[in-house]
Amino acid sequence: MSHDEHWLLLCGGVGGAKLALGLAHELPPGSLTVLVNTGDDFRHLGLWISPDLDTVTYTLAGLVNPATGWGLAGDTFHCLEGLSRLSGPDWFRLGDRDLATHLERTRRLAAGERLGSITSDLASRLGVSARIWPMSDDPVATLLHTDSGLLEFQDYFVRRQAAPVVRAIEYHGASEAGPAPGLANLLKDPGLAGIIIAPSNPWLSIDPILALPGLRQSLADARAPVVAVSPLIAGQAVKGPSAKIMRELGLPPDAQGIARHYLCLLDGFILDDRDEAEAAGIGLLGLETVAAPTLMRSLDDRRSLARVALGLARRLGNSIGRPHRQTG
Ligand code: GDP
């Protein structure tokens, strides 16, 4: 492996962070950049909350609550309990020590610092060697058009537990938002060995990133191979509403539906070995397809899925050009 090899992971929160951790263990320190969705970010109790950035940061720092996959291990909720007693808005779970992150991020944003620089600094103070980049320094808000009206992301996802039926999704502000500084250069870097799309929710976690101006095209133009991991296993999301949203949007909730969703960006696709019967059909779409265990329960599971993704991207990178890449 070359020392100058770099890898880029596109990811959301809990599902994406699991693969990020596997990759961070499998790659030399400093060679992984994680580009994280910020479409879930919102202002709450006067604080700027970036749930996916914090989930990835806490996970890579070894501090995440293993029971939930988000928040800090061993955190307490005294502040939230106090808020409840006062009938304040207690529907969004914020731990006491976690609050320090939101206080500090909000303080630094108010002082004029960019989200990317704050995120990098907080991550390095927590001992993370991977680069964690918010997809943009500019605010983007995922909004859901549902049978209960137009909903802000956290209202839909946390307060209403993703129950409303989704009709359409919009990424408010995305068309004017600048992609993470450094991203354009990374995508052109000859040392970029591969781009991996995490098994995150395609509509809620990855599409906000892909909605940034020029990003789809820069990914399609990158020399490095692009591979995605399916977030569905046997037609079901491991967690959250991915499959439910697919059904509501009239799409078949299966691995092929995920592969088709990303098709014009991809060279390779990893689906769960329980869905191996779908591999041939996905291969016919022109994608190098690998079936592997994708359920990440343990650190070993995370590392072995990371090795599968790295191996597939390396194989594709060694083939001449990008014969499978669609254009569009
Ligand atoms: P969120 O922002 O916290 O919802 O996190 P993500 O969007 O990153 O992750 C949610 C997606 O991850 C869901 O579609 C899950 O099905 C998927 N997911 C979670 N854990 C796993 C896993 O162990 N394996 C696979 N293949 N997908 C997973």
pLDDT digits (tens, 9 = 90+) for 170-218: 999 999 999 999 999 999 999 999 999 999 999 999 999 999 999 999 9
**pLDDT for the residue numbered 319:** 80
Phi-psi bin for 108: left (phi > 0), alpha (psi -120 to 50), beta? alpha
Residue 308 within any structural domain of the chain = yes
Is the Cβ–Cβ distance between 164 and 175 less than 8 Å?
A: no
**pLDDT for the residue numbered 207:** 98
**pLDDT for the residue numbered 181:** 96
Looking from the CA of residue 17, the nearest atom of ligand 1 is 8
Residue 149 within any structural domain of the chain = no
Given a cut of 50, whether residue 1 has pLDDT beyond it is no
- Domain extent at residue 98: 6-140+172-317
Ligand 1 centroid to Cα of residue 126, in Å, is 24
Q: Nearest CA to 11 among 269, 181, 209, 187?
A: 209
Q: What is the CATH number of the domain that holds 222?
A: 3.40.50.10680
Residues 182 and 60: their CA atoms lie apart, in Å, by: 21
What's the DSSP call for residue 192?
Answer: E
Q: Nearest CA to 260 among 284, 224, 293?
A: 284
Element (H, E) at 21: helix 14-26
Quote the tokens at residue 5: 């090899």
Residues 274 and 194: their CA atoms lie apart, in Å, by: 25
How much of the chain exceeds pLDDT 70, in percent? 96
Residues 48-102 pLDDT 10s: 999 999 999 999 999 999 999 999 999 999 999 999 999 999 999 999 999 999 9
List the alpha helices (DSSP H) in 66-197.
78-85, 96-110, 115-125, 153-154, 183-188
Phi–psi pair at 181, nearest 5 degrees:
-60, 135
Residue 75 within any structural domain of the chain = yes
Kindly state if the Cβ of 158 falls inside 6 Å of ligand 1: no
Q: Nearest CA to 181 among 274, 255, 117, 251?
A: 117
Is the Cβ–Cβ distance between 314 and 7 less than 8 Å?
A: no
Owner of token pair 């839909």:
156
Looking from the CA of residue 230, the nearest atom of ligand 1 is 26
Residue 225 within any structural domain of the chain = yes
Residues 103 and 46: their CA atoms lie apart, in Å, by: 9
Residues 136-176 pLDDT 10s: 999 999 999 999 999 999 999 999 999 999 999 999 999 99
SS3 242: helix
Residue 49 within any structural domain of the chain = yes
Confidence band, pLDDT 50/70/90 cuts, at residue 2: very low
Residues 210 and 212: their CA atoms lie apart, in Å, by: 5
Given a cut of 70, whether residue 282 has pLDDT beyond it is yes
Residues 295 and 277: their CA atoms lie apart, in Å, by: 17
Looking from the CA of residue 243, the nearest atom of ligand 1 is 14
Residue 147 within any structural domain of the chain = no
Residues 217-233 pLDDT 10s: 999 999 999 999 999 99
Ligand 1 centroid to Cα of residue 204, in Å, is 11
**pLDDT for the residue numbered 4:** 79
List the alpha helices (DSSP H) in 224-291.
242-248, 255-261, 279-284
Q: How far from chain centre, in Å, is Cα 284?
A: 27
Residue 223 within any structural domain of the chain = yes
Strands of the chain (E only): list them: 6-11, 32-36, 42-44, 47-49, 131-134, 141-146, 149-152, 166-172, 192-197, 226-229, 232-233, 236-237, 268-272, 288-292
Residues 328 and 315: their CA atoms lie apart, in Å, by: 24
Residue 328 within any structural domain of the chain = no
Domains in the chain, number: 1
Confidence band, pLDDT 50/70/90 cuts, at residue 322: low
Q: Average pLDDT, stretch 273-295?
A: 97
Beta carbons within 10 angstroms of residue 101's beta carbon: 22
Ligand 1 centroid to Cα of residue 215, in Å, is 22
Q: Are strands 131-134 and 32-36 parallel, antiparallel or unpaired?
A: parallel
Average pLDDT, the chain: 95
Q: How far is CA 176 from CA 41, 76, 183, 287, 311, in A?
A: 16, 39, 16, 32, 36
Q: Average pLDDT, stretch 15-41?
A: 97
Ligand 1 centroid to Cα of residue 24, in Å, is 18
Quote the tokens at residue 317: 């990178």
Residues 171 and 268: their CA atoms lie apart, in Å, by: 26
**pLDDT for the residue numbered 328:** 44
Ligand 1 centroid to Cα of residue 18, in Å, is 8
Whose alpha carbon is nearest atom 2 of ligand 1?
13
